[in-house]
Structure 1
């Protein structure tokens, strides 16, 4: 591991804004996938942290290049492909306080993870596990461990007022107009 990056500082209120993909080339570059709404906004928030083998690490960006579906980045002091491979699948984490303050009834996707999903007919559908981004709309990935439903995922498009009827931040629930096959 890169001892020069280890830090005793842990980010306050860690917030994931991206993920490092595979190594690219021989000079230590990696692919970067941004989870921010505007992909370029990931570069507005610093410092970047990641966690590897229970150690917090500060990542210092040296170079970036925009690609079609991801960025190519170079982290300072990463000299070769083998060092870059050690960062594969690490999350890019910032302190949540560096994000813009939200208006009333606004939220970050990350805040909705583990919210309960209830259909507008009153059926419990599961909890939000993650989000998928598509060209047309974002998708809620619901993990469902109900007795009669078996272990399965439900994919629900995040289309406000059509599918997403209510987001209740206080009770951590989202009401959806959705009728899965098992319902």
Structure 2
């Protein structure tokens, strides 16, 4: 997911729902229905940025369905399939100390407690048991391997220093 400097991706439109312009949404927020707290979205679809206003939304089974202002029929709604949903970073609520949004971790350099550089956090993924850092090698890395490192604060992730652009992990580079 490529970020615009002042916004982050909070979900994706997956398909239409019904015939009155409703859309199914895959939410990246936690909890899933947290996406409904953001009323003004920017949709990124086929390279175009489209402002959108959330008119209504609700949980539907394991997912979310939404109605965007001005989209009142299935055919028009269908044209938005696959669009990323973005919001300004300024709209995200502050987190307690020691907690981070994924976008804050993406791009940080990853160093072992022994000082070996493994690369940079490319992105994170949710696995169910815990989130996983996808660390890709860069020019300063000890090798050119991609690593999947569990995001387990105080166990594997020993330090997150946003100001220093660094994340320290207790991780064997051979993994």
Question: Normalised by the size of structure 2, how large is the TM-score?
Answer: 0.79
Cα deviations by residue, 1:120-143 (Å, 9 ceiling, x for unpaired): 222221211222123221111222
Q: 1:12 to 1:95 in 2, by over 3 A?
A: farther
Determine if the alignment matches structure 1 residue 48 to structure 2 residue 44.
no
Equivalent in 126, 135, 142 of residue 135 of structure 2 = 142
Determine if the alignment matches structure 1 residue 58 to structure 2 residue 54.
no
Query: Which residue number in structure 2 is paired with residue 8 of structure 1?
Result: none
Equivalent in 52, 57, 67 of residue 74 of structure 1 = 67
Equivalent in 107, 125, 138 of residue 132 of structure 1 = 125
For 1:82 and 1:101, the matched residues in 2 are separated by 38
Equivalent in 73, 76, 93 of residue 83 of structure 1 = 76
Where do residues 17-32 of structure 1 align in structure 2 (5 Å cutoff)? Answer: 17-32=10-25
Q: 1:144 to 1:27 in 2, by over 3 A?
A: farther
Shift of 1:25: 5.0
Per mean C-alpha deviation after superposition, the further-off stretch among 79-88 and 126-135 is 79-88
For 1:121 and 1:74, the matched residues in 2 are separated by 51
Question: Normalised by the size of structure 1, how large is the TM-score?
Answer: 0.76
Determine if the alignment matches structure 1 residue 100 to structure 2 residue 93.
yes
For 2:72 and 2:127, the matched residues in 1 are separated by 34
Over aligned residue pairs, what C-alpha RMSD do you find? 2.8
For 1:68 and 1:163, the matched residues in 2 are separated by 34
Shift of 1:168: 0.7
Q: Number of aligned pairs? A: 171
Q: 1:180 to 1:90 in 2, by over 3 A?
A: farther
Determine if the alignment matches structure 1 residue 163 to structure 2 residue 156.
yes
Q: 1:148 to 1:127 in 2, by over 3 A?
A: closer
The alignment partner of 2:168 has SS state of strand
For 2:112 and 2:60, the matched residues in 1 are separated by 39
Per mean C-alpha deviation after superposition, the further-off stretch among 42-51 and 157-166 is 42-51
For 2:72 and 2:147, the matched residues in 1 are separated by 42
Q: Which runs of 5+ in 1 are unaligned?
A: 1-10
